[in-house]
Chains A and B, each alone.
Chain A
Amino acid sequence: MSNVIHRLAALGVALMLAMPVTAAWAQPAEALRVEYQQWQIGRDGVRQQMDYAETLYREENALWVEREIPEAAERQHDQHAHGGLGHKHADVIGAPLWIRRDDQGGLDVKLVDRHEKRLIDIAPPYYGNVGFDGHWAESWALADPRALAAMQPASIDEQGRETYQLDRGDQRITLVWDPKGRYAVSITAQGKQGLSGRTLRATPLAAPASMPWQGLADYRDRDYSDLLD
């Protein structure tokens, strides 16, 4: 279940600020493809690298995060026998996350199990178990726009994209923000000694004909603790 920690560790920009619940900018990007990469050189000289990609579907108060899983890996999963409640845990590996926000800023987090047609409710103690850090703005826009104020503005390109920089500890973080689409176009965190780095790159996709959370009517509601014995 690489969801788990990868989602958590992906961003180095953890400048958590209270998130605003109101936002009335121009039409934001409804769908994004986000590529993540992370690497590190160990004391033994071995460089380890990890890559994955996710698709984000976004409405003002809804977010769907879905890992790209190669068909062959997906098939491997399908060969597991399922039955009854399927309370065994492995069934939800790589499952999409559907997060909604209410008017008070409260979150409703569901893991979408397509194989068993279950919507698994994730209570806050289990956010970490499904790779969600609990921060709406960072998940929705890939960076909390309010964190930009704490960074050093560097440049604006002809499309209006803003570049910011921040030095934090051993790391230099560069963030490119698209204010119209309301998302981080890229974030790069580079260890100054050249021993580690992380990048995130987002590209807008054409708006989908329908959002993925449409068509879940016949899914059963389940709790995350149902997956534990």
Chain B
Amino acid sequence: MSSSVTATATQSRERLYLQIYMGITLAVLLLMLLAGVALRAAQGTLINLPPDLFYQAMSLHGTGMVGIAGLAGVSIMWYFLRRYVALTPGIFLANLLLFTLGVVMILGAILLGGFAGGWTFLYPLPASSMGQWNTHAAAAFIGGLLIIGVGFLLFYLDAGRALLARYGSLGRALGLDQLFSGKVDADHPPTVVASTMVLIINILGTLAGAVILVMSLINLYLPAVTIDPLWAKNLIYFFGHVFINATIYMAVIAVYELLPHYTGRPWKLTRPFLAAWAASTLMVMIVYPHHLLMDMVMPAWMLIMGQIISYLSGLPVLLVTAWGTLVQIYRANVNWEAPARFLVLGVFGWSIGVIPAIVDGTMTINKVMHNTLWVPGHFHFYLLLGLLPMVLGFMLHVTRLPDSRIHPLLERGGFWLFSGSAAAFVVMFLYSGLHSIPRRFAEYLPAWVAQAQLSTLFGTLVLLSLAAFFILLLRRLAQVRMQA
């Protein structure tokens, strides 16, 4: 008796935590989308944003989106992983609190302190703003990132502990034993495999991030202690690449777990699935030099590896998750409710995003595409059309009750408006890349303005269509509708 009372108490506490996660995610997403549209509108001279405000908004949009992608990913991983292993609710909450604290510091740094060093805070820019922001603003930004990192680290360590308790080793949780010795256990959960991969890469990534963040902090106050800029770049891109990729690897868990509800076909573990995730674990960590292809002082073998692994790391995604999704829905008499739509859209956007990324991972092409709008082009494919729909699909599913139908105008019209305008928005970035328009420019040459204006139109449509779904979700959250 008393134990079942405790169980429901825990359940309602966990439900509340998840609701707060989702509420914060929606609110931050909405603000960051607004900032994104403002950036494009400013490049199109539709609004007047002086360079200092533009770069502050750019730092805000970048940091906020990456951070919230991480938070949303964690909520998805936590939601499903706790079905298989015993996660600590207190740690889940601690992550949220540390995240919020970090966000407050970052907001202070950017909005009050004028910090505009970009979310990649490339050393020594935070310390060298030419008077635009002061040391404390830079320190608040870097400190905020550090605190957010600590929260994520706690979460992954807790997940690692729980997985070890259940499976004995991370290798077994990842399915390495099954991969290399004869028998594949079709009932080993894909969620466990994906979560193990994510915690391995993100513990290492976060630690690398912590090293460079702490070093940057020291350098801010003791300028005599300097860092090698090339080392700093390597650490930052290793951390940044791993972190943002891990957000998608967490979000895709929702596809494995939820799509079967709508197709009636279970997502069973297979050997290629295990092989793909094992290979990705390694590849995500060694592919980061593709961010450094234009640093000829890097060892040549690292750049060559960056190109080759760029090609390879796209394959598991396409051939396992995308292929698996297509097999899920082909002649499956799919129940195309909103969550199913968004989950499949997410897989589509993720797979498509691989293409321009691989193309740009080719050194000869990188020579003329690096740091043009081609780059936001490919990663907005992953994020705006990949990660975001997966997160939305997840939220629409877990807040759904059997009777909660969505108005067809929103379920179909809103969905297609979002898909179409987001695709157009992202393709515009690629098209601007074709025309050599640089990324991260507050002011455009006259010849570039028209593209930004057209893009702003698409961005606005994205914002409006998403806002409709956000409002629906916020209303559901307020009504405390949630599947335990």
Whether chain B is bound by chain A comes out as: no
- Chain B residues within 8 Å of A, Cβ to Cβ: none
Residues of A that sit less than 8 Å from B by CB? none
